[in-house]
Amino acid sequence: MVETEEKSEKLEKIKAKRRRVNSSDIVSDTQKYKRIQRCIAKPSYLLSLGPKSSRSEYLNRLPGLLRELLRKRYWNDASRVLSVLMRGTIKDPCPKMNRLKYEAHIQIVSHLETKKNKADEIGRIYDTWIGQIGKQHKEERLLVWFEQICHFIDHEMNSEAYSAAISLMQNRDFAMLPRANLFIGITFYKMWCSKFLKELQPEDVDDNESESNVSESRSGSLVECSGRDESVCSMASEVSARKDSETSVMNNKKVSHLSISDSETKMDTKEKAKSTPHFTTPPQHYATSEENEASLGDGVEFDPTVIDILGDMDPWLLPLKPPSDPDCYRKIVDDSYFKEALKHMRQTLQSPRHVSLAALHPLVQLLLIGGHVDEAMKVVEEMCNKVHDVKPFRIKALMMEKFHRNSDMLAKCYEDILKIDPCCVTTLKKVIGMCIEDEYSRESLIEMIALHVEASFPEPEIWKELASCFSHFFENLDEDRLSVCLDGSEDKKNPQTYSVRYNPTPKMFTNTSWTLRAKCWLNRHFSPEMLETETKNSILTGDWEMMTYKAACASHIYGREFGYVTKVYALLKSSGNNNREFFKFLREHRVNGNNIYNFE
C-alpha cells in the first residue's frame, strides 16, 4: 500500500508540471516562417522586436549611418536605411529629424531614373514634408513651404508657385512671423525675374551664365534667414500625409536639389574703368511709406543716364541689367510682381536685424531698377548704422562709386569694410589705387595693409606695397644732423668734422599695437618653418616674387641682418641673371633698411 501511494504522488506531480505549459508558448513552424517573411519584406518590423533599449539604440544610430551613406553616395543602401528610419520615427515631430529625412529623400530619389514628371513628384514630397511638421513649429513650416515655392519657380511651374504664394499670404498662422514678409517678397521677386529674364539679362553674356548670375543673387540673401528652430506655414487644406509615401523612398520619384543655396556670394575682383560716368544728382528722392504705395508704378520716369549707370554696376550688387527701351522698362516696373516684391521688402525693414539684413540686397536691387536711388542709399545707410556686418558697407561703397563719388566718404567706407573683413583683398586694392591717385594718405594705407597682413597671408602685390610704404616713411623724415670733430679740437678757422645723419623711428611705429604686430608677424610670416617651406616652393617653381617682397618688408621691420632677409638675399644673389630685377629690388630696400624692432 505504501508503494502504490508513493507512485500515485509522483504521477500527480508529473501531471501538474505538464499542466503549466501553455500552448501559446510553443511557436509553430508556420508562425516562424511568417515572421521571417515579414522581416524580409519590411525591415522596419525588426525595430518592434526585442527590448525597448535595443530599439532606441538602433534609432539613434540610423541618422549617422544615413549621413555616412549619403556622403559616400551609396544610394541604394541609403534608401533602405531611410525606409527604416522613416518607419521608426513616423510620429516624431522634430524639425531637425524631418529635415534630415526629407532632404535625404530628395537627394536619393534625384539619382534614380524615372519616367514620371519629376517636378510634380518633388511637389508631392514637399506636401508630405509640410504635413509632418507640427503646428507649433511655424518657422520651419514657413521655410519648407517657401522652398517648395522656389522649386515651382525654378521648374517654370508658375501657376503652382503663384497659388502657393497666395495661400501663404492668406494663412494666419504666420502673420506675425518676422520672416513672413521676407519670404513673400523673395517669392514675388523670383517670379518677376523669371517672367522678365530675357529683358533683364545682359547682352554680352550667354543665357546660361545670365541665369546662373540671377539665381545666385536671388538665393544668396536667403542663407541668413533660413532658421531651423521654428516653423513655416500650414498647408492643411492642400496636404495629405500618406504613410506609404513615408515608408517607401524607392518608388521611382525624382527630386532635384533645394533652391536655397549655402554658398556665399563674392565681390567681383575686376576693377572698373576710370572713365565710367558718375551720376551725382539722383533723379528721385526718398518717399515716405504713404507715398511709396502710390509711386510704385504710376508715373515712372525713364532716365537713360541712370539706366546706363545701372548697366555698368558691379555684377555682385546688380546682376540684372534694366532694358534701355523706355516702353520695355515701364512694362517691367509696372508689373504686379515687381510692386508686390517691393511692397513686402519695404515692410521687412521693420523686422529684426537679421531678417532686415537678409532683405537688404534684393530690396536695393529693386529700388535701383525702379529708379529710387536716393531711397536705396538711405536704406543702406540706416542698415550700416543698425548692424555690424560687411554686406551693407559693401553695397554702400559700390553705390557711392557710381552715384556719389566723394574720396573722403568713399575711403571711410572702404576702411569700415576692412575693419569688419580685413581679408577682403578687393577693397584693399581699391584703397591702394586711391593712394596712388593721391586721394588717400600713406599713414592710413599702411594701417589697412597691417590689418590685412594680420588676418591673412597676403599676395605678393600687397607685400610690395607695404615695403614701399616703409621706404616712403623713412625717406620723408626730417633728418637730424650731428657734427663730429675728428681731432677733438674746436678750431673755428679750420674745423675737420663729419656730418652724420640720424633717422629717428616714425612715431606711429612706436606705439604698442605695432610692437605687438611685429612680434606676431615674426612667428606668422617670418618663422624658420615658413622660410624653409617658401624656399622649397620657390626653388621648384622658380618664382621668387613673394619671398623678395616679404624680405624687403622684413629688412625695414627687423633690420638688414635679419635671418629671413639674409637667406633670401643670398639665394637671389646666387641665382644669377634669372632674378636680377628681384635682387635689385631687395638690395635697395636692404641698404635703406631700418631696424625698427629688435627682439633678439
- The pTM is what? 0.71
The H or E element that residue 33 is part of is helix 29-41
- Rounded to a whole number of angstroms, the distance between the first and last alpha carbons of the chain is 116
Q: In which band, very low, low, confident or very high, does the pLDDT at 484 lie, cut at 50, 70 and 90?
A: very low
Cβ neighbours around 349 below 10 Å, total: 17
**pLDDT above 70 (res 44):** no
Coil, strand, or helix at residue 396? helix
User: Which among 482, 481, 469, 560 has a CA at the least distance from the CA of 509?
Assistant: 469
For residue 177, give the C-alpha cell: 512671423
Averaging pLDDT over each range in 67-81, 196-210, 211-225, 489-503, which range is the top one?
67-81
Coil, strand, or helix at residue 361? helix
> DSSP character for 494?
S
> 552 with 560: CB under 8 angstroms?
no
Give the C-alpha separation, 103 to 257, whole Å: 9
- Which residue blocks in 232-317 are alpha helix, DSSP H? 243-247, 289-295, 304-311
pLDDT of 119: 77
Cβ neighbours around 340 below 10 Å, total: 20
Q: Which residue has the cell 549619403?
A: 70
- Give the pLDDT confidence of 387-398 residue by residue, as tens digits: 999 999 999 999
Q: Which residue has the cell 575693419?
A: 419
**pLDDT above 50 (res 179):** yes
Give the C-alpha separation, 78 to 72, whole Å: 10
- Give the pLDDT confidence of 94-136 residue by residue, as tens digits: 889 999 999 998 888 778 766 677 778 778 888 889 888 888 8
Average pLDDT on 402-416 reads 89
**pLDDT above 90 (res 299):** no
For residue 7, give the C-alpha cell: 507512485
DSSP per position, 130-142: HHTS-TT-HHHHH
| More confident: 598 or 86 | 86
Give the C-alpha separation, 6 to 499, whole Å: 136
Coil, strand, or helix at residue 485? strand
Phi/psi of residue 496, each to 5°? Answer: -110, 95
Give the C-alpha separation, 168 to 600, whole Å: 69
Distance of CA 289 to the CA centre of its chain: 32
Coil, strand, or helix at residue 499? strand
Average pLDDT on 566-582 reads 88
**Partners of 485 in beta bridges:** 497
**pLDDT above 80 (res 457):** yes
pLDDT of 286: 34
- Give the pLDDT confidence of 506-559 residue by residue, as tens digits: 777 878 888 899 999 999 999 999 999 999 999 999 899 999 999 999 999 998
Give the C-alpha separation, 42 to 59, whole Å: 16
> 371 with 306: CB under 8 angstroms?
yes
For residue 210, give the C-alpha cell: 545670365
For residue 303, give the C-alpha cell: 532716365
> 302 with 330: CB under 8 angstroms?
yes
**pLDDT above 50 (res 24):** no
> 281 with 240: CB under 8 angstroms?
no
Give the C-alpha separation, 126 to 148, whole Å: 6
Distance of CA 408 to the CA centre of its chain: 30
User: Which of 177-181, 440-444, 493-497, 539-543 is the least confident region?
Assistant: 493-497
> 329 with 302: CB under 8 angstroms?
yes
Q: In which band, very low, low, confident or very high, does the pLDDT at 422 lie, cut at 50, 70 and 90?
A: very high
- Tell me which long-range contacts 194-200 makes (C-beta under 8 A, separation of at least 24): 194/153, 194/156, 194/158, 195/158, 195/335, 195/337, 196/332, 196/335, 199/323, 199/328, 199/331, 199/332, 200/320, 200/321, 200/322, 200/323, 200/332
User: Which of 45-59, 84-98, 411-425 is the least confident region?
Assistant: 45-59
User: Which among 378, 405, 403, 402 has a CA at the least distance from the CA of 392?
Assistant: 378
For residue 525, give the C-alpha cell: 610670416
**Region label for 253, one of left (φ > 0), alpha (ψ between -120 and 50) or beta (otherwise):** beta
Helix, strand counts (H, E) of the chain? 28, 2
Sequence-distant (6+) residues with CB within 8 A of 106 are: 122, 125, 255, 256, 257, 258
pLDDT of 172: 83
- Which residue blocks in 370-527 are alpha helix, DSSP H? 373-386, 390-402, 407-420, 425-436, 442-455, 460-475, 512-524
> 173 with 234: CB under 8 angstroms?
yes
User: Which among 348, 102, 354 has a CA at the least distance from the CA of 226?
Assistant: 354
For residue 426, give the C-alpha cell: 578687393
Phi/psi of residue 502, each to 5°? Answer: -130, 110
Give the C-alpha separation, 84 to 65, whole Å: 12
Sequence-distant (6+) residues with CB within 8 A of 329 are: 300, 302, 307, 322, 323
Cβ neighbours around 32 below 10 Å, total: 10
> 402 with 313: CB under 8 angstroms?
yes
> DSSP character for 465?
H
Give the C-alpha separation, 351 to 354, whole Å: 8
pLDDT of 229: 35
